[in-house]
Amino acid sequence: MGCGHFRTDVSYLPDLEAYLADLLRNRERLAAFADPDGWAKSEAMPSDDEITRVRRLVQRVREDLEDLTDDDRAQIQEAITVVRRSRTVSLGMPRIRQPLPDLRPGRTA
């Protein structure tokens, strides 16, 4: 999307669609914000260019799927199911794991 080495495949389509929805939701949320500092709003606002690139990418993957026969689409869906089971993807903000609870609070090291 921003990198010339970026490649994707149809198995990432749900993640790309979710990322696009997040960008659009964030843009609307920031646009509705009453009185933000100008610099803060411009830094946090997803760019129109990024939204356009992600939209085009999603559309291109969808069109490629539509060009396939029903048999090919079924085989791809089956392969996607297998691939997605073994992979978790996050294209949005990184998440921080919650610390594990101390199971022995009274114990000294």
**Distance (Å) of CA 84 to CA 1, 65, 71, 88:** 21, 17, 20, 7
H helix and E strand count, the chain: 4, 0
The predicted model scores a pTM of: 0.65
Is 28 in a helix, a strand, or coil? helix
Could you tell me which of 7, 34, 22, 13 has the C-alpha nearest to residue 89?
A: 13
Instruction: List, for residues 4-54, the tens digit of each pLDDT value.
Output: 656 778 888 988 999 999 999 988 888 887 676 777 777 788 889 999 999
User: CA–CA separation, 91 vs 16, rounded Å?
Assistant: 8
